Amino acid sequence: MTDAPLSLQDFTSLLSQFHGEAAPAIDAASDADALEAVRTKYLGRAHGWLKDLSAKLGQLEKTDRAAAGAAFNEVRLRVEATLETRRVALTPARVAGALADPTMPARRQWTGAVHPVTQVIDEMIEIFRELGFTVALGPEAESPWYNFGSLNFPADHPAMDLHDTLYLADDLVLRTHTSPVQTRTLQGYAPPIRVLIPGNVHRRDPFDASHAPTFAQVEGLVVDEGITFADLKATLTHFANRFFGKTKTRFRPSYFPFTEPSAEMDVLCGVCHGSGCGVCKQSGWIEILGSGLVHPAVLESSGVDSEKYTGWAFGMGPARTALARHGIPDIRLLYDSDVRFLGQFAK
Ligand SMILES: [Zn+2]
């Protein structure tokens, strides 16, 4: 026995009945579990109501099947759209009072890191601390005597010119180097002295790829009986090998008002190992610091007997050192506070 053919009118009436029940049931679902139960009842692939309706398509007269199929698909799409709308509305972030969607992927946790220039300063302090140095600090606003006079600058030295130095008042400058702390240390403490002096200094320099008007400096001072250039060379070579890994150093004669003799120290370029590259300007060497034996006039201006005591000093720019160490082409990158750039050097 075969069933009597289903009329198109009966079929569309079944579709309306289906839609008339399914849509309000979906809208009434109050959470994800309820919605899933409704979905299974009406749209489930195994036993859902829609599945039964699709089976009834076969009972239609062949001439009615195209129209019935189109009506069926239209209702199916409308109910599926209603379901999707409700599903989005029920996601936890959309529910009033919900704080967050626990199914969202976790966000990356940002943590702070030490700036590459501060890393250089911290490592220097650590290396020199092992050699018996202590840290000394001093004011950034100084009298011209501390900044220049006590350090054997002649009265007409060009560094004292308004072009190079920032004057806060006639008798007050922003220190152009950390060397005034040498004077303050010599005035305040009797030898033997071994100090490391980190701090910011200020100059009327342009802000370009290799200059900044405010920058950090680290200075060292040793004063004792019997100190010679050999002490300077041995200590700074030891420092270079500790800081850069085993490397070669060379000392070139130089001139500073506060040291005599004076020398600049270079280390072998860590990028090309001496063959010449852009970082070392094809020389194979990177200049790291200036140094020299403390000029007797500097000792005397602070009341230290230069017949009894000798000493050596050095000064270094940790920003330049950070550039050389990481092959950074422009010093301004160290001032931009762009965490995408700085994060590369986090330890
Ligand atoms: Zn090089």
What's the 264 CA to ligand 1 centre distance in angstroms? 18
What's the 113 CA to ligand 1 centre distance in angstroms? 28
Mean per-residue pLDDT, 154-168: 79
What's the 286 CA to ligand 1 centre distance in angstroms? 8
pLDDT beyond 90 at 340: no
Q: Percentage of the chain surpassing pLDDT 70? A: 95
What's the 327 CA to ligand 1 centre distance in angstroms? 10
pLDDT, tens only, 265-293: 999 987 888 898 877 889 999 899 999 99
pLDDT, tens only, 243-258: 988 889 999 999 999 9
Q: Percentage of the chain surpassing pLDDT 90? A: 59
What's the 158 CA to ligand 1 centre distance in angstroms? 33
What's the 111 CA to ligand 1 centre distance in angstroms? 34
What's the 317 CA to ligand 1 centre distance in angstroms? 19
pLDDT at res. 4: 73
What's the 285 CA to ligand 1 centre distance in angstroms? 7
What's the 337 CA to ligand 1 centre distance in angstroms? 27
What's the 10 CA to ligand 1 centre distance in angstroms? 88
What's the 268 CA to ligand 1 centre distance in angstroms? 8
What's the 137 CA to ligand 1 centre distance in angstroms? 34
What's the 250 CA to ligand 1 centre distance in angstroms? 15
CA distance 253 to 260: 10
What's the 270 CA to ligand 1 centre distance in angstroms? 7
What's the 240 CA to ligand 1 centre distance in angstroms? 16
Q: Which CATH superfamily is domain 116-345 in?
A: Bira Bifunctional Protein; Domain 2 (3.30.930.10)
Q: What's the mean pLDDT when you consider all of the chain?
A: 89
Cα atoms in the 13 Å half-sphere on the side-chain side of 273: 2
pLDDT at res. 334: 92
pLDDT beyond 50 at 1: no
What's the 227 CA to ligand 1 centre distance in angstroms? 34
pLDDT, tens only, 174-218: 999 999 999 999 999 999 999 999 999 999 888 888 788 999 999
Domain boundaries, given as residue ranges, for the chain: 8-94, 116-345
